[in-house]
Amino acid sequence: MPEDIYQESLKYHTMGGRPGKTEVVPTKPCLTQHDLSLAYSPGVAEPCRVIAANEDEIYHYTNKGNLVAVISNGTAVLGLGDIGAPASKPVMEGKAVLFKRFADIDVFDIEVSQKDPEKFIEAVHAISISFGGINLEDIASPHCFYIEEELKKRCDIPVFHDDQHGTAIIAAAAFLNAIEVTGRKIGETKCVFNGAGAAGQSVAKLFLKLGVKPENMVVCDKKGPILASTKNTMDIRKLAFASRRDNLNSLADALKGADVFVGCSVGNCVTADMVKSMADNPVVFAMANPTPEIDYLVAKAARPDVIMATGRSDYPNQVNNVLGFPFIFRGALDTFSRNITEEMKLAAVYSLAALAREPVPEVVSRAYGGEHFSFGREYLIPKPFDPRVLYWVSVAVAKAAMECGVARKKLDLDEYRERLRRKVDAGRNLVSVPLSSVTGAHLKIAIPSVDNDALKFAIKMAIRQQIAIPVLVGKRAELKEMMSDVPADTYEIVDPSEEKNLKQLTELVKRQRPFDNVSDEQAKKELADPYIHATILTEAGMCDGLLAASHRMYAEMVKPILVYASVREGVSRVAGMHLLALKDKQLFFADTTLIEDPSAEELAEVAARTARLITRLGVTPTVAFVSFTNFPRHGSPEVRKLDRAIKLMRRHAPEIEVFDGPVQADVALEPDRFRDVVNHKMPEHPANVLIFPNLAAANAAFRLTRVMSGGSAIGPVLLGLNRPCNVMPMGSTEDEIVNMLAITASIAKRRKKEIAEEAKTAGS
């Protein structure tokens, strides 16, 4: 990898002044002495007594039911090999992040400095009582087989070696769909496997369970095909895969006429000629990572009819373990399962395969740059950011756990499915949709005055993630030196002192200030300011949007936008909206930045624009106008203003759900608590869009909520501009800047399309 990626990774793992990627957070109040007396002594004694009397009660009074241990001895880490337990810790922490991100499962990563399998087993078994499940990771073959087998015998919780079973489950789901697409019958399908380690053997075993016949299977290791004639020199575990076709001398021999190739081996071990020798519509799963057994483009050139899957995200049909382990453990944990059985693995396989055949919702398309997916050759398995995977796979696994008798807890599967669906809807990262939707869209975002390290680093992160093409506005020599480690074709520099379009931009400055009688010289002087220049570039359509994030005060950075950027038709005033992602919900606050004392008309307009924006982010809005009282019949001028704003909004945006009257914040956020107290009909859903009577209330509410909740904030997003221009407050972090850049680029992409359509309509 390039040197700058190494540096970026090291910075990522230390950012915020807190090393590592995870933390432990209390889930109960710990604010008063009484709280502490319940959390520890003397109150903690009572759940201890209950568990001592009935050990299964540990699931009800501790975190065991949502806690997984990710355990490794560091003997087979990623592509790094035997680097030792301490060096494996960043990987195990990363696995913990995936568990939490995709299935809200808590993880302790545990690195065991022990290569002796018996001692490793003893250590893990001794601590297993603390956990609801154990995910074994990066343990070298053949010890990994024995370790998992023994721990499954000794522990009464799920033990799962993801390097084996995770790859197998995802590959098997893709295999089922590839067979359907090509019209083959599983019992007649000829399969060749390359790689007989942990993953390869597990995939082969699972294919046999799906119906592939042993006589139609050839497994190769680094010495070539595993044959019955050489069984005396064979690893005992490989013996089960020995082929009786003794005329095979190489992988190339095995692939002649084969229907399916599955690679869990090394890169570039399959040639174009080998793929050419396969049957019609060959299925090639080249899953070595990061270099597949055969490159996707090479395989497609050799056989245009090939159906291809790899472990890479830049090609179709990525076999990604994150589609499996978080959701398999979610179903196992929620049923307090004693094991992860073959039936549970197969349930995951069939649910993933079935989900891929379903119509794909627009939210998935938005998450992947607007690309549309439908079941077929290039879409055999769901995408990791498909929110439905959680409640498809986890429910299927839970159902299988109950049916095969390993579940301690019975679930109402319909209720469980809905609970998981709500978890997904509330907990999705606010920027995952816009971030994915703009990747590779080549949108130009003007960035003036790059004067701080956070912005510099964020620009490089944005280039790496292909969020946008940054157009840096400032002194060319300084910017060029700053970007010396970045390919020159991934960004642009505009130096106001040498601007080739100066005459056109000067005229635009004058046009945007028609009542000020601005001269050419005054306009040129204005354009020397990077913020004004970036705004005019965006206004002229030379850039698709603007993001400012320097050390200047917010008011100083936003002023050029308010003066020179045009607003959309029908917009009276530009407003600001903050997004706040909490653990279990998302909140949107407006106006938090600009309109000090908005009118009823302005409040209604801001509310509608906020609701429509978050709809495009994949969130369903429910709007509340927040006051000091609930549904008043009469009130102060402030309350009457809110009441009028609600009526205006209902008239002009009837499609948006809104509380039918001003309400207090707690009623807006927890309407179910107050339905019997407040004698008034309320929306079915809690509010997620909060509109306040004035700037002071909105800004204070947002900042208090952010600090007290520890939520992740994005914004402010400026509402109502013809092209998106946003300003980050002083002190914004790299992540916050990148998040806002993704939001800005996402809005720019939509506006670019709308402006083109408007121009086309006007021309016709």
185 is catalytic: no
CB count in 10 Å sphere of residue 648:
19
DSSP 567: B
3-state secondary structure of 90: helix
Q: Which residues pair with 473 in a beta bridge?
A: 448, 494
| Token pair in block for residue 24 | 């432990």
Residue 136: left if φ>0, alpha if ψ -120 to 50, beta else—which one?
A: beta
Nearest to 650 by CA among 623, 678, 689: 623
Q: How far apart are CA 314 and CA 440, in angstroms?
A: 11
Concatenating the DSSP letter of every residue in 442-484 gives --EEEEE---SHHHHHHHHHHHHTT--EEEEES-HHHHHHHTT
Nearest to 64 by CA among 273, 338, 402: 338
- Residue 122 sits at the vertex; the CA angle it makes with 117 and 125, to the nearest 5 degrees, is 120
Cβ-based neighbours of 2, under 8 Å, separated by 6 or more = none
Strand (E) or helix (H) holding 577: strand 575-581
Sheet holding 689-691, edge to edge: 657-658, 622-625, 689-691, 586-590, 575-581, 712-719
Q: Which residues pair with 658 in a beta bridge?
A: 623
Concatenating the DSSP letter of every residue in 32-59 gives SHHHHHHHSTTTTHHHHHHHHH-GGGHH
CA 398 from centre of chain = 24
Cβ-based neighbours of 280, under 8 Å, separated by 6 or more = 305
- Residue with token string 């299977």: 217
What crossing angle do the helices spanning 734-763 and 600-616 adopt, rounded to 10°? 100
CB count in 10 Å sphere of residue 17:
5
Q: How far apart are CA 148 and CA 144, in angstroms?
A: 6
Q: Cis bond leading into 56, ω under 30°?
A: no
> Out of 11, 12, 59, 95, which one is annotated catalytic?
95
Q: By CB neighbour count within 10 A (0-12 exposed, 13-18 middle, 19+ buried), where does 484 fall?
A: exposed
Cβ atoms of 182 and 307 closer than 8 Å? yes
95 is catalytic: yes
- Residue with token string 């050799």: 302
Cβ atoms of 57 and 51 closer than 8 Å? yes
**Residue 616 is which amino acid?**
R
**Residue 81 is which amino acid?**
G
Q: How far apart are CA 363 and CA 358, in angstroms?
A: 14
How many CA atoms within 13 Å lie on the side-chain side of 35?
A: 7
| Token pair in block for residue 543 | 């850039």
Cβ atoms of 296 and 315 closer than 8 Å? yes
3-state secondary structure of 718: strand
CA 151 from centre of chain = 32
> Out of 6, 11, 40, 410, which one is annotated catalytic?
40
Cβ atoms of 287 and 170 closer than 8 Å? no
Q: By CB neighbour count within 10 A (0-12 exposed, 13-18 middle, 19+ buried), where does 249 fall?
A: exposed
3-state secondary structure of 205: helix
- Residue with token string 């002009």: 652
What residues are annotated to the active site? Answer: 40, 95
